[in-house]
Amino acid sequence: MRNSFLAVLVFISSISLFTSCRTIIGVQTDSKPFSHEQWTMLLQKNVTEAGLVNYEGFIVDSNALNQYLLKIEQNYPNEKTWKREEILAYWINAYNAYTVQIIIRNYPIISIKDIKPGLAFVNSVWDIQFITIEGESLDLNNIEHNILRKMNEPRIHFAVNCASISCPKLLNEAFEASKLEAQLIQQAKDFINDPSRNIITTDKAQLSSLFNWFSGDFTNNGSLKDFINQYSTTKLSNETAIDFMEYNWNLNKQ
């Protein structure tokens, strides 16, 4: 009986590993990159320059949001034919649009963390598998950790938005492959130099908790200070003391 139980566990683990690999590698489809102008139209209508979101407006525009997400669902990126920038833009926009969708499905709420499915202290809103792309059941954690973070682009942390005050602002235009580099640079500059999210002086830096939680992503090619100094108007020295700010999970609503 014990051997049979272990065999079942191995089988389940194998399925889980296969699924995880597919969410990273992607099934091979004949899909083609597409413009995310539908998402831009919704963002410009419902998101301010400062990144505050009119969720009531998104509720009114839910049909248009669903139409855009249908395009996302039916066009899984093909790594053999899509450029890296096209894949990055696809998944960043997908993460942000699905985050808006899960918020308006549960609105009104004070914080995204108020959406609590499953077992207490085990599952979170980021573990809800409400996303289906090319037959794959995904959650927001799958997109962020199994796909985006594995593309070795640390600036995705300034592009994906977790619907909270301390998150980097939700850009009020879609990310597009043709201007992705410029968008990521600007998002990094805006976030790092925003005193409500990072307080930087030559003597001390109070940084966003993002730099603590994902420190490994920012130090692949140097120190955390090296990364910050690429975008900060105030440069950190070797002597600059670093601390991390408390995260404000209240909804980033307008």
Say which DSSP state 115 is in. -
Q: Using an 8 Å Cβ cutoff, are 62 and 126 in contact?
A: no
pLDDT at res. 27: 52
Q: Using an 8 Å Cβ cutoff, are 212 and 176 in contact?
A: no
Regions in the chain scoring below 50 on pLDDT: 1-25
pLDDT at res. 134: 85
C-alpha to C-alpha distance for 216 and 150, rounded to whole angstroms = 12
C-alpha to C-alpha distance for 26 and 43, rounded to whole angstroms = 27
> CA nearest 73: which of 12, 138, 20?
138
Regarding pTM above 0.75, the answer is yes
Instruction: Please report where in the chains the tokens 């300034």 appear, as a residue.
Output: 158
C-alpha to C-alpha distance for 125 and 9, rounded to whole angstroms = 26
Residues facing residue 133 across a β-bridge? 136
Three-state SS for 245?
coil
Sign for the pseudo-dihedral over CA of 71, 158, 100, 64: negative
C-alpha to C-alpha distance for 212 and 244, rounded to whole angstroms = 7
pLDDT at res. 119: 60
pLDDT at res. 202: 87
pLDDT at res. 21: 38
C-alpha to C-alpha distance for 196 and 50, rounded to whole angstroms = 12
C-alpha to C-alpha distance for 222 and 140, rounded to whole angstroms = 28
pLDDT at res. 25: 42
Q: Using an 8 Å Cβ cutoff, are 151 and 143 in contact?
A: no
First vs last C-alpha separation in the chain: 58
